[in-house]
Amino acid sequence: MSRLDRRGLLKGAGAAAGLALAAPLVARPGFAQGTGTLNIFAWAGYLNDEILGAFEKATGIKPNFTPYGTNDELLNQLRANNGGGFDLIWPTVDRVPNYVEFGLVQPLDESKVEVAKVLPSAWENSTTLGAVVDGKRYQVPTDWGTEAVAFDRDQMPLEYGTASYGDIWGESAAGKATVRAHSALVGLGLWLEAEGKLPRPLLDAFKTPEAQVEIFDVIVAEAIARKGNIIQFWNNENEAQGAFRVNGAAIGQTWDSTAAALAKEGLPVGFIAPREGALAWMEGLSIPAGAENLDNAYAFINWFLTPEAGAMYTNATSINSTAVGSADLLSDEAKAFFAAAYPGDALDKLWWWPIQESWYVTKRNEYQDRFLSA
């Protein structure tokens, strides 16, 4: 996608080998003890009791965590509340302009953000990926990850270099695949593009409505023809995990965290970047327009960017922190997952989600519904 400094982004995010084991998280000097509460609306599975407890111990602020499962759920809830009800939200960076368009988030006071704690390339690249709108920053990048191919090592073993989004749609995956409808169309599109079967580059679909229609008409027709491969559609983390855990999926297009969680349970599930490039996303913390605890919101942002907090988050989720120094504290398990998911030139081939404007999302959902109802 965009010409990002991918290696720079990944430096310190788990790519280096031979790093120390995670150290216990302690209150760091420089965190003034605060008071009151902080209402956080974040992805389900991102903030466990250990992370929330460590934040409270370090700052004295009581966090209240409400989970959601999709970007659309977050956006719809915030629109229903007119930007109120929460002090922090955690959208993907490519969707931040949607919140700005509806007046749901406020520009950040960068003087209150300890910018030096963020990997420089993550801070810089987030500018063009959606965090900055009309010269104002609305998000601090905190983490990044991918949506790629999860697979049952016993039933459908895959190897880097030959693994493809096409494996999800081939004959051997009939009745064994799980996907999220709208992003699966993009993964399928990348495979079709690599096969020379799209009328124009896939990235054009994010630039104009006319190009989106021309490209997605081809993709959705192919998806419908191959729909028999799908044993279950997923919309959130729990559903994606359940597809493998109880519903018989042997392959799928899922988040990295999905495969990591299943592997931790002892299931033979691997995760690999396909040859077309893993779908890469960046996320971060934004402050809603109606936030009531601003000082506490900035306190969490700066605490979450400490090496210890970043490593605790990555060790729990296998999602990569943008906190400088966090990689030095990763567990062996987290390092091994990263190395297995992105071998060879996989990091150079990441396909970063472009900004998804409102017109794109509206039409994207129509294609998704057409696929689901076929």
Q: What is residue 82's DSSP assignment?
A: T
Residue ranges matching CATH 3.40.190.10 in the chain: 6-144+280-349, 146-279+355-373
Mean pLDDT on 50-68: 97
d(CA 203, CA 354) in angstroms, rounded, equals 8
Condensed to tens digits (0 to 9), the pLDDT of residues 118-134 reads 999 999 999 999 999 99
pLDDT of residue 332: 94
Candidates 127, 45, 94; CA nearest to 358 is 94
Contact between residue 36 and residue 343 where contact means Cβ atoms under 8 Å apart:
no
Q: Are strands 140-152 and 320-321 parallel, antiparallel or unpaired?
A: antiparallel
CA distances 340 to 201, 207, 334, 347, Å, are 29, 34, 10, 12
Condensed to tens digits (0 to 9), the pLDDT of residues 183-242 reads 999 999 999 999 999 999 999 999 999 999 999 999 999 999 999 999 999 999 999 999
d(CA 364, CA 165) in angstroms, rounded, equals 19
Amino acid at 329: L
Q: According to the CATH classification, is domain 6-144+280-349 in 2.40.10.120?
A: no
Candidates 90, 11, 17, 42; CA nearest to 322 is 11
pLDDT of residue 35: 79
Q: Write down the mean pLDDT value for the chain.
A: 92
pLDDT band, residue 313 (cuts 50/70/90): very high
H runs (alpha helix) in the chain: 6-10, 49-59, 71-80, 96-101, 120-126, 166-169, 181-194, 209-225, 237-245, 256-264, 294-304, 307-317, 332-341, 358-373
Phi, psi of 236 (to 5 degrees): -145, 175
The answer on pLDDT for 135 being more than 50 is: yes
In sequence order, the 6+-apart residues with CB closer than 8 A to the CB of 135 are none
Contact between residue 276 and residue 350 where contact means Cβ atoms under 8 Å apart:
no
Hey, what CATH topology would domain 146-279+355-373 get?
D-Maltodextrin-Binding Protein; domain 2 (3.40.190)
